[in-house]
Chains A and B, each alone.
Chain A
């Protein structure tokens, strides 16, 4: 017969295991994934994550600074900012378009950061193509990067299929706010509604600044002051052209 005391102990242990498991699960979920990395290839894994950190942040930073583009469209100012409103038409890219731009950025520039693992000469690493998928949420940008790695260290072989990274920036909200601004712009082709901009910025808890630029362009800066990226506040930049 098991004593009551023993029963209690079992329950306590079970409880600890359960809570611990849940804790591990939630913590891992928060960071986006559950990875168990062998200590032997941890340097490779960490190196990829370091590059992923840099390239993800650069991607978001650069793409936000051009109006959502990695490869610039035809209609841009001469300081490389995409026009969202030109000759009374809207050229706002969709969220999916911007996701694709971020994916292209990652696909092109992650290998340049990795540099064939030259920094890790002790490892024999064969890498596949970078094939990333980006999801822009209201308050963050999620990178899911398919990057097959075969690693040989001595007699042992290891493999990775993909990596994940999250950039905390309210890009989804910014895109919604900007789209609202341009929809309003279409209603008053020559005019900027000052009240409306203030209302939209208040609605999304963002800030905005605008500057006159050459060729009848006004450049808009939408700022996410809750987050920073590359040691700067998150700034989304686009241009509108108003006929003179």
Chain B
């Protein structure tokens, strides 16, 4: 008993001295004197002891539990439900609860250098606050979770957040992972931090790792706000230092109470969201990404996405597109982006974002939208990607404010809004009103402008070199010319493209389409360099191309029974345009070549002239038989101030009256 009183006095004195800030020399002297007396007491006590106990204890009885204070523990505050304990080096604290937590001993407790280390427990024996260092590995109950804390760790635990700074040795997070002690959900955010990337989790090494109620997060504790995930091909910036949860599922997750990233290498999916009204992290993808983004070699391509936060749910997802079979060959498709509620993206020097207030998608041509990246570099080409679907929450319901519209982004700093991601129209080639440039989600259209790629996508063999070795695709301009060829076929009905097997380019007096044992072929005269016929700079005339392709369709009988329909049009044998005096089959090709790429004013004259009903009918017949796309047919009627709804189209075909247009 005397010894216990002494120990109590000793520890009390120490704390008092600390509070009084007495100099170390004086403290040392007093401590030595006290220590000598203490040893004497111990010796006497030990000799006189009746039962010879090795670890005599101070014992406090609370309403709910016993607290057994062992070595070097001092109780600073005691109340009905809380206890605050201070301790010296290598202290041991043993708490015995009357409840289900049972007996728990914390040993190897140490001061964190220069700080008042302490522990606070609640009535259940759960630690609710504390600062301490561990000299031995041991399990601690922080909040309602039990966690294994490695030796040499500094623990700072307050307000539901426990920061555990472990030594640099590698730890396996699965072994230290907190687990709940009472079946309730986890309430403490655990942050493990090291001086190096020495926390192992899911095969990765982390410098910091957070854990809250079964979920992992990036704590961003230090003076940095970036994480580089080389293996997953992205760089994360967290300028606002929000808590960013993460997982490897690659899925939208509305259960995260904060921002999150979810990525999956195998599925090629990256999701970032923010389920609170705060910006999520900015994600910058790198050339090593696994989501299908194609970065031009040597370019400093820059593609970023950011969820802008919404407590109704908010995410933006980038995912690798599955290959598509086009004309019997597997084609790569550029990645797709979709999102719920407001999000932002940067692509080269441009930004795009969806605003839930206006329900519109915006382009910001010269500035960044993402915080901290307002001055985005504009030194390279964009990365091809399709914003495939944008959804938003409206009155608790999920809506699609952009309908089925998509935003196509090419590899050439072009973007536009359209319905068909295979070819979202941009403007037309100068001087060729019906020939549109476009943005396509075909990887090859963006990154592989080669003859081989054209052959694969068109399903047409391209013979571009003559017997003398002359290359009509023209070497250094081949990419531009191949893109032009891509555009030519994109403006034609796919059924028409499917009918031809070979395109031969050359210089000659004639161009022609013909059938051989190898299938349909066309021979196209490429004009002499400098005499551009296309508005693109390529010397291949689009009208000539359409003309020769029309021969092939004619030969194939269109969609079946073309001749019969054509004879009914009333244009049989009639050459539509001047300057070309063929008859018979040429009239069809002349008609198609002109109506595909002719000037609207002239088309208008035909469509509203003396032979109006024949021309209108011929346009519909030509569309039915795959000479024109439906889109082109609508343009022709629109240019002629004529309706083009299904009812009107049917009426043109049957020479019935359309609206105020009276046929005789």
Residue B413 interfacial (CB < 8 Å): yes
**B360 CB–A CB distance under 8 Å:** yes
Asked if A195 and B599 make an inter-chain contact with CB atoms under 8 angstroms apart, the answer reads no
Q: A194-B407, A225-B433, A226-B604 are in contact. Are A212 and B639 (CB under 8 A)?
A: no
Q: Mark A185-202, 1 if CB is under 8 A from B, else 0.
A: 000101111111110000
B638:A191 contact, CB within 8 angstroms: no
| B residues in contact with A243, CB < 8 Å | 366-367
Q: Is the CB of A194 within 8 A of B366?
A: no
Question: Contacts A190-B364, A195-B405, A225-B639; is A233 near B599 (CB within 8 Å)?
Answer: yes
Contact A242 B360 (CB under 8 A): no
B390, chain A: closest CB distance, angstroms: 10
Which single residue of chain A is at the shortest CB-CB distance from B352? Answer: A194
Q: Which residues of the other chain, B, contact A191 by a CB distance below 8 angstroms?
A: 353, 362-364
Q: Which residues of A contact B378 (CB under 8 A)?
A: 244
A232 adjacent to B402 (CB under 8 Å): no
CA distance A208 to B407 in the complex (A): 15
* Residues 384-431 of B contacting A (Cβ, < 8 Å): 402, 405, 407, 413, 415-417, 426-428, 430-431
Chain B 568-614 interface residues, beta-carbon cutoff 8 Å to A = 599-602, 604
- Is the CB–CB distance between A228 and B407 below 8 Å? no
B331 → chain A closest CB, angstroms: 26
Q: Could you say which interface size class chain A belongs to?
A: 20 to 34
Question: Is the CB–CB distance between B602 and A225 below 8 Å?
Answer: no
Is the CB–CB distance between A242 and B599 below 8 Å?
no
Residue from the list B427, B601, B602 in contact with A207, Cβ < 8 A = B427
Q: Contact check, B366 vs A216: say whether CB atoms are below 8 A apart.
A: yes
Q: Is the CB of A225 within 8 A of B600?
A: yes
Residues of A within 8 A of B639 (CB): 225-226
Contact A212 B365 (CB under 8 A): yes
Closest to B349 in A: A244
Q: Tell me whether A192 and B366 are in contact in the complex, defined as CB-CB below 8 angstroms, given that A228-B600, A233-B433, A244-B375 are known contacts.
A: no
Question: Once the chains bind, are B405 and A198 in contact (CB under 8 Å)?
Answer: yes
1/0 per position for B340-364, CB-CB distance to A under 8 A? Answer: 0000000000000100001111111
Q: Given A207-B427, A225-B635, A188 and B362 touching (CB < 8 A)?
A: yes
Say which size band chain B's interface belongs to. Answer: 35 or more
A228 interface neighbour in B358, B362, B415, B602, Cβ under 8 Å: B602
* A41 part of interface (Cβ distance < 8 Å): no
Mark each residue of chain A from 170 to 211: 1 if its CB lies under 8 Å from any CB of chain B, else 0.
000000000000000000101111111110000001011100
Find the A residue at minimum CB distance from B359.
Answer: A195
**Least CB separation from A192: chain B residue:** B363
Question: In the assembly, what is the distance between CA of A194 and CA of B405, in Å?
Answer: 11
CB-contact partner of B360 in A168, A194, A231, A233, under 8 A? A194
**What is the CB-to-nearest-CB distance from A193 to chain B, in angstroms, rounded to a whole number?**
5
Minimum CB–CB distance from B562 to chain A (whole Å) comes to 28
| Residues of chain B within 8 A of A205, CB atoms compared | 638
Give bound CA distance, A65 to B407, whole Å: 28
Tell whether, in the assembled complex, residue A194 and residue B416 are in contact, meaning their CB atoms are under 8 Å apart.
Answer: yes
Does A48 interact with chain B (Cβ within 8 Å)? Answer: no
Check B600–A233 contact: CB distance below 8 A. Answer: yes
Could you say which residues of chain B place their CB within 8 Å of the CB of A232?
Answer: 430-431, 599
What are 29 inter-chain pairs, A to B, with CB distance below 8 A? A191-B353, A191-B363, A192-B364, A192-B365, A194-B363, A195-B405, A195-B417, A196-B360, A198-B405, A205-B638, A207-B427, A208-B427, A209-B428, A212-B365, A216-B365, A223-B427, A225-B639, A226-B600, A228-B599, A228-B602, A233-B428, A233-B433, A233-B600, A242-B364, A242-B367, A243-B366, A243-B367, A244-B375, A244-B378
Q: What 9 A-B pairs come out closest when comparing CB atoms? A: A209-B427, A228-B601, A244-B366, A191-B362, A242-B366, A195-B360, A228-B599, A194-B417, A192-B363
